[in-house]
Structure 1
Amino acid sequence: MFSKLFGRKDAAPASALPAIRNVTLGRTVWLDTLAWRRLGDDLKFALDTDTLEITAQGLVELREGGFVHRFYTDDNIMFQAVSDDRDGQRVTDVTLFIPWDSAYPGGRADEEAWAKRLRARTFTGPGLPEYRRDWFGDEAESQEPVSFWEDVHDDRDGIPDRRIFQTCMLFSRDLPGDGRELLLAIQQENENEDTRQREMSFEIMVGVALSVGEFRA
């Protein structure tokens, strides 16, 4: 899902890679599978393992304040934590996402259609039910998505190995009981290592929220 983008940046200190409740690059995360199995058979999120081997780590600094910490497996499963501080001491949200679909636009018309889907009140797709916009609420017919750069590390030398520009929107749907499933729709721009040309892709990930007692590292 994530290919090399725009080369390497200037060196950063090794401490640039925070550990979020002991989760960081090179470690194993143990999950309580009841976190999603209790949500019922209607759930589209399907993960048949209780361990994640973290092989890449991303960091996003939001323009409005706050930080997004992302931890990836080789299968592009994404463990994500949002915090008020860069070191991740004040975590406000933890989620777990798995890839659902990935596609490349065939031209300008595809890009415009995807941008319209990101702004819409609801989101659906092949094999998916309807999800309603989670960020900003769903009162407005159209809402601009969120854009940011993510610095991604493949090792602990403190130097980002690639930067990924993303424009995304979070959607969700209620499940029986008090359950909720998330859908993250992303437009991202990668650079092809061979041609040095930028490639755009559309990504859909489905996920669930985790409490602090539903994972450990």
Structure 2
Amino acid sequence: MSWLGKLFGSKPEQPELAPAGPLGLRLKGAVGVESLPFRVAGDRLVFVAPEGNQLIEAWGEVELGGGSRLHRYYLTDDAFVQVSTTAGQVDDVKLFVFHETRNPPNQAAFNDWVKRGSLIGAPQLELGGQQYDRVWGDMGTPGWAPPVVFDEKVYNKDFREPDYDLTHYAMLYQRQVPGLDRYEYVLVSAEDYGPDEYCITFSVGVDVSQADLTIT
């Protein structure tokens, strides 16, 4: 602050806003979800949409190569918007809610989740009384498929420097929802945060359009 500012006082500097990403989403911005279609679906969906405006508390970035990228915007109520882009163009938007988390106590227990024949990569997955079919790998093939591995950088305090990074060993599953023109997804990920810190997350999601979201 200059000597003149010290003498007369000055307004505190405002923190720099994070640059807008795809669809205008940004760290510390907000997302409102139009939850009526999901409430109308009732118990046909395992997915339960978050209510009200949600603060984007963290932003995850995944480089997939070939100009492809995943952007994950983590919301207040254990949910995240995932946007897939190629060369900056939006390919796909999904909204996930965290359904269950398990914590392997050590690396050996974590390895049991990602080794050949484990649940992550099985042809089908059951969750919430529903059965989902594997999407990644050879869809429809009865055998096990290896998880898709990718690294994610997560920004929370500052959009310039990641607060932490992790490695995902993930598989996506889907089912056609009876009576609805939509799919429901389960994303299972074994997450390695570094020395002796692991978790397994089960997230349930649906496709959304920009019309389903109010982004500020």
Relative to the length of structure 1, the TM-score reads 0.80
The one-letter code sitting in structure 2 at the alignment partner of 1:26 is K
Secondary structure of the residue aligned to 2:120 is: helix
Alignment match of 2:203 (pick from 202, 205, 216): 205
Distance 1:110 1:146, change over 3 A: closer
What does residue 194 of structure 1 align with? none
The structure that is strand-richer by fraction is: 2
For 1:112 and 1:61, locate their aligned partners in 2 and report how far apart those are by CA, in whole Å: 26
Q: How far apart are 1:64 and its partner, in Å?
A: 5.2
Partner residue, 1:129 = 130
Contact in 2 for aligned 1:77/1:99 (Cα 8 Å) = yes
Cα drift, residue 17 of structure 1:
5.4
Q: Do 2:60 and 2:73's aligned partners in 1 also have CA atoms closer than 8 Å?
A: yes
Determine the C-alpha separation between the residues in 2 that align with 1:39 and 1:20: 28
**Distance change in 2, residues 1:53/1:74 (3 Å):** same
Question: What is the Cα deviation at residue 15 of structure 1?
Answer: 10
Q: Which runs of 5+ in 1 are unaligned?
A: 1-13, 192-196
Q: Which moved more, 1:153-162 or 1:206-215?
A: 153-162
When normalised by structure 2's length, the TM-score is 0.80
Identity of aligned residues (%): 27
CA contact (8 A) 1:17 1:156 kept: no
1:146 to 145, 148, 155: 148
Question: Deviations along 1:64-87, whole A, 9 cap, x unmatched?
Answer: 5410000012443111100003xx
Change (3 A) 1:39 1:66: farther
Unaligned runs of 5+ in 2: 1-15
Pairs within 5 Å for 1:75-90: 75-85=77-87, 89-90=88-89
**For 1:117, what is the secondary structure of its paired residue?**
coil
Total equivalences in the alignment: 195
Who is 1:164 aligned against? 166
How many angstroms does 1:137 deviate by? 4.8
Measure how far apart 1:157 and its partner are.
4.3
Query: What whole-Å deviation, never above 9, does each CA across 1:30-51 have from its counterpart, x for those lacking one?
Result: 2211342344422111135032
Preserved CA contact (<8 Å) 1:39 1:175: no
Task: Provide the C-alpha distance between the structure 1 equivalents of 2:157 and 2:110, rounded to a whole number of angstroms.
Answer: 35
